[in-house]
Structure 1
Amino acid sequence: MKADVAIVIVTYNSAGEIAECLESVFAQRESVTQQVIVVDNDSKDNTVDLIRADFPEVELVIPGKNLGFAAGVNLGARHADAEFVLLLNPDTVILDHAVDKIVRFARKTPGHGLYGGRTLNPDGTVEPSSCWGEPTLWSMA
């Protein structure tokens, strides 16, 4: 069955952060179905073992070499079977049912090729580079 959203995460030596990321992803399941794909870029730490042991529902893709981030994302996206694809970094922690909210928003405002959420800094402030308002002449220059 096709998922509502495929969440693609590319890892490289991410054992110290991927567990919190995946825990937050799986804690967010509300009204949308998720396919979670992790592409591991030849980690030398225990990232792969940790995912296999603690998150068996993750679709783990192991290309056998470090493809780099962009190629890793593309590989993960090729494995996706969902209406939407959400890209996350392994140090991301999802808050406030953000996956459900962004999927609902995308469905209410179709026709755009890209949607994104706000990124918060560790102190809770909004990272300005993660969100923009309406375009202005100044921002488009």
Structure 2
Amino acid sequence: MIAAMWIDLQTRVMRGMNSLAVQRAGGKSGPAHLATGELGEREALFHLRKLGYTVVARRWKSAKLWGDIDLVGWDGPTLCFVEVKTRSGRDAIPAESAVDRDKQDMLRRMARAYLRGFPEKLRAEVPVRFDVVSVYLLPSRVEFTLYRGAFGW
């Protein structure tokens, strides 16, 4: 109960800080789609924390590969690589459909690179899962759909 209240407080503070930053920049926050994606990732991070995930990395990159992993976290004993897809409204095409085969292949390569940082013995024993979170930033609320195990290796 207290943990959920703490996460809610952090979420509200981050939203307020984001709003203040946009105001101080004169309403300019960069390209709209990038601002939407960043806000969606932040909202997904707090949503996953409410669900019990321990998020250990955000926008993880490898010096040798193109791309990034939006969120990396533990769901119990399972290491999860999470792709976040954000939309500012509900369209005919759901947000999660943007995680196509090319995106999945890139995430698999990035996950292998991330796992190379683990000791070899541990690397073979850690259960891994690929999750996708669809975030809809609607005028009156934020909606989430979490797809645990959205695709495999």
Structure with more of its chain in helix, by fraction: 2
TM-score, normalised relative to structure 1: 0.27
Which structure has more relative contact order (CA 8 Å, sep 6+)? It is: 1
Structure with more of its chain in strand, by fraction: 2
TM-score, normalised relative to structure 2: 0.26
